[in-house]
A and B are shown apart, each in its own frame.
Chain A
């Protein structure tokens, strides 16, 4: 019996508007409200709402045998509340079935794990509190932004009290080993790792509608036969993907919903597969080995590293200037500033500044609202500079008040 672990990532960034030098010091609304609303409502209509409804139906039909896992960023929840509250309600309905697990991650889908331990811990704390408030459960498993992982990051997460963490089943890390087993973190061996099976995951997420693929069309029966086959040995099959795969990246017309509708029944009928959430799967099996990952990896691009976000001087500069503000923002203890601080950390802003266009240029430009990495950088830095000025001003005002009280 193999365990199938379905996990979906839900995230939408707050996109910045065109913010010019002339706006600086005068205009502190950084967001492109129209774009944010129209994209979120479009994705809600095409993906979140129909897919949530389908999963709810599948869970009810299979009486607890069909289970899955979600990770929803704080930034996405903020946008649900602003533009599509019915989406949040449908996630809550899923939570109430008891067959769905919600993971912890960074609140802003941020790169804080690469900045400092404190920034990282704070982001996770914020997200955990949000999940608890919205869905009434305290997450015990963790997934980092874009599955960014290293031995040290795993140890930090263990220190925060999590027992399980997700990572990419990257070929350069695994070598001959299979991603279909549970592994342990190299520093803290109590931390269990679930590794993404990128082949099986990408069959659905990327190749499903590709008519040039020799396996096209993909049916649930064919997919189940791959999972049960002896050529796929192991205990856990980790199918991790963006939730927007369903209905958005793979449109409804491709038959992706029909595929998902048929998958649980086909899998359960084989009698060789069962479904479990991330934490359930981690508990069920023992780690087979320690996984050594001294350098940071992720699930992005062919390289499976973090160069999509921190690969050139533009990204490094924006990143270091952003986190240099950290202490000042913390001192302010002001919700308005926290709100901006959070959405400025979102990794997407750095992704837009990428200049690697070889193998993954299409994927980058698909998600990119800017004409070029340079435009993205200029716009982000203009916003950040204005935020910087406002933070300084607010700090001065606060210190001034304190002094006045003392006098």
Chain B
């Protein structure tokens, strides 16, 4: 079976849930005997005038530096196509517009900021003047790619709304069935104030698709209830986690105190406020504990001010955005990991924490809560319950031992192979249905 996949650049180029999920899924599919042609946007700027580039699998930098041993036969089943575009995951139309405005005003082409999502953001005359235009341009190129590859794929798979038009275009050109993957909905990103254009594209993609995959039942329900997609068309495929081949040795601990960690974008969606309030409550009872907030985001300054006002700044530390090895180091230094997300379609990072033997507290409003038993689950708004759970995990070793050992077992069983097998069955079904139409 062959699949044409519209995905996103792999880590470490663009870290975060989307890239990580695409990577794990693609490898899982390859292991299940599925050939993948992986198409992704990649900004070349002006130096390269071609729209499309075909890249060898070995040229693509893989997660954490190397693809590891024994993976070569799998990589043979994956080929990569780069489309010259400056789209990056999670970018909002407003952000895109502000970069474009700056580009027009100053002629500045490349932005590097401390924010991972815009690590190296490129602009040049040939990119769309606004994000919607760029999405449409990407679709036009995608249609051309689909035409060129005619007869070389059986099914199309598109990740995240930015590529949905591309998926639809490829479907129209080739007549092959389309599967779209909802990693996050506009309601997760923006709360109730949804961007109607984004919403419309998400809905159009799902309506045109033969099957919609949701990363959790939580997301599946949103898709059914708020986008009006027929329930029988939507399946849940939970994400999994990939184990690094050789885990680095644990770094030496500098401080004796217990460390409770929040790691993620410091944005409304991730609930950093609740973490801070709970931290203040715990610190009133236990003096020898430290809190670390790793990451950056638009709420960071607000959070720093709140920490200062609560008078806990000597026990509450900020690391700024962490990448690569530092993320692992941070997990290994932690005694408890907390993800108090207000809305989280899935949430891969608790799995990564559990992999490092760290007990986790997650919000009930996260998709990952559906697949984990050995994680403390609280309502994101229930600061008392969150503080309670933190206290329990640092004060009662029996509890934290149970969570870390059982949690490691549990997370080890969440394999991309299994998730990919499920995806493969979906492919088989839609191909079959498509033939009978």
A389: B residues at CB distance < 8 A: 255
Considering the complex, which residues of chain A in the window 314-350 have a beta carbon less than 8 Å from any beta carbon of chain B?
314, 316-318, 320-321
Query: Mask for B296-317, Cβ within 8 A of A = 1, else 0?
Result: 0000110011011101011101
Is B192 in the interface zone, CB < 8 Å from A?
no
User: Is A385 touching B317 in the complex (CB atoms < 8 A)?
Assistant: yes
Known: A313-B305, A313-B308. A26 touches B252 (CB 8 A): yes
B residues near A320, Cβ cutoff 8 Å: 311
Tally of contact residues, B, Cβ under 8 A: 25
Give B308's nearest chain A residue, CB to CB.
Answer: A317
Nearest to A23 among chain B residues (CB) is: B254
30 A-B pairs in the complex with CB atoms less than 8 angstroms apart = A20-B319, A20-B320, A21-B317, A21-B318, A22-B251, A22-B254, A22-B319, A22-B326, A22-B329, A25-B255, A26-B252, A313-B305, A313-B309, A317-B308, A317-B309, A317-B311, A317-B313, A318-B313, A321-B311, A372-B301, A377-B304, A377-B308, A377-B313, A378-B317, A378-B318, A381-B313, A381-B314, A381-B317, A385-B317, A389-B255
Inside 8 A of A382's CB, which chain B residues have their CB?
A: 317
Residue of A nearest to B318 (CB): A378
Verify if A384 is at the interface (C-beta below 8 Å from B): yes
Q: Which chain A residues border B326 with CB–CB below 8 Å?
A: 22
A interface list, Cβ under 8 A from B: 20-26, 312-314, 316-318, 320-321, 372, 374, 377-378, 381-382, 384-385, 388-389
Find chain B residues with CB under 8 A from A318 CB: 308, 313
Give the residues in chain A near B304, CB-CB below 8 Å: 314, 374, 377-378
Assess the B314–A25 pair: CB atoms within 8 A: no
Which residues does B use to contact A, with CB under 8 Å? 251-256, 292, 300-301, 304-305, 307-309, 311, 313-315, 317-320, 326, 329, 333
Q: How far is the CB of A211 from chain B (nearest CB, A)?
A: 27
Provide the residues of chain B in CB contact with A381, threshold 8 Å: 313-314, 317
Report how far A126 CA is from B253 CA in the complex, Å.
37
Closest residue of A by beta carbon distance from B259: A21
Set of chain A residues within 8 Å of B333, measured between Cβ atoms: 22
Please state if B254 and A388 are interface contacts (CB–CB under 8 Å).
no
Chain B residues contacting A384 (CB-CB under 8 Å) are: 314
Chain B, residue nearest A353 (CB): B308
Q: Is the CB of A321 within 8 A of B314?
A: yes
Main secondary structure of the interface of B (DSSP, over half): mixed
**5 tightest A-B contacts by CB?**
A25-B254, A317-B308, A25-B255, A313-B308, A26-B254
Assembly CA distance A388 to B287 (angstroms): 13
**Chain B residues, Cβ within 8 Å of A24:** 254-255, 317
Q: Which residue of A321, A381, A384 has the most chain B CB atoms within 10 A of its CB atom?
A: A381
A389–B290 alpha-carbon span in the complex (Å) = 12
- Considering the chains assembled together, what is the distance between the CA atoms of A23 and B307 in angstroms? 21
What is the chain A residue whose CB lies nearest that of B301? Answer: A374
CB atoms of A321 and B254 under 8 A apart: no
User: B309–A385 contact, CB under 8 A?
Assistant: no
From the candidates B292, B307, B314, name the one contacting A21 in the complex (CB within 8 A).
Answer: B292
Instruction: Give the distance to chain B from A385, nearest Cβ to Cβ, in Å.
Output: 5
| B315: A residues at CB distance < 8 A | 385
Contact B308–A21 (Cβ < 8 Å): no
CA of A260 to CA of B314, assembled, Å: 47
The answer to whether residues A314 and B317 also contact, given A24-B254, A374-B301 and a CB cut-off of 8 A, is no
A316 to B313, CA, bound (A): 11
Find chain B residues with CB under 8 A from A377 CB. Answer: 304, 308, 313
Of B305, B311, B314, B326, which is in contact with the most chain A CB atoms at under 10 Å from its CB? B314
Shortest distance in angstroms between B234's beta carbon and chain A's nearest beta carbon?
42
Closest residue of chain B to A377 (Cβ to Cβ) is B304
Please, which residues of chain B bring their CB within 8 A of the CB of A312? 305
Task: Tell me whether A21 and B305 are in contact in the complex, defined as CB-CB below 8 angstroms, given that A321-B313, A374-B300, A388-B314 are known contacts.
Answer: no
10 other A-B residue contacts (CB within 8 Å) besides A22-B251, A22-B326, A317-B309:
A20-B320, A21-B319, A317-B307, A317-B308, A321-B311, A321-B313, A372-B301, A377-B304, A385-B314, A388-B314
Distance (Å) between the CB of A361 and the closest chain B CB?
Answer: 16
Q: Which residues of A contact B317 (CB under 8 A)?
A: 21, 24, 378, 381-382, 385
Chain A: minimal CB distance from B313 (Å): 5
Chain B, residue nearest A380 (CB): B313
A388 to B292, CA, bound (A): 17
In whole angstroms, how far apart are the Cα atoms of A318 and B313 in the complex?
Answer: 8
Residues in A with CB closer than 8 Å to B308 are 313-314, 316-318, 377
Which A-chain residue is minimally distant from B311 (CB atoms)?
A317
What is the CB-to-nearest-CB distance from A23 to chain B, in angstroms, rounded to a whole number?
Answer: 7
- Nearest opposing residue in chain A for B319, CB measure: A21
A392 to B315, CA, bound (A): 14
Q: Tell me the nearest residue of chain B to A393, going by C-beta.
A: B256
Shortest beta-carbon distance from A8 to chain B in Å: 35
A383 shortest CB reach to chain B, Å: 11
Which chain A residues border B251 with CB–CB below 8 Å? Answer: 22
- Of the candidates A316, A318, A385, the one having the most CB atoms from chain B within 10 angstroms of its own CB is A385
Q: Tell me if A25 and B253 are in contact (CB < 8 A).
A: yes
B381 to chain A, nearest CB (A): 24
Contacts of A25 in B (CB 8 A): 253-256
Q: Is B255 touching A314 in the complex (CB atoms < 8 A)?
A: no
CB proximity of B336 to chain A, nearest CB, Å: 16
CB distance from B39 to the nearest CB of A (A): 37
Q: Across the two chains, which residue of chain B brings its CB closest to A371?
A: B114
Query: Which of chain B's residues have a CB closer than 8 A to the CB of A26?
Result: 252, 254
Q: What's the Cα separation between A306 and B251 when bound, in Å? A: 43
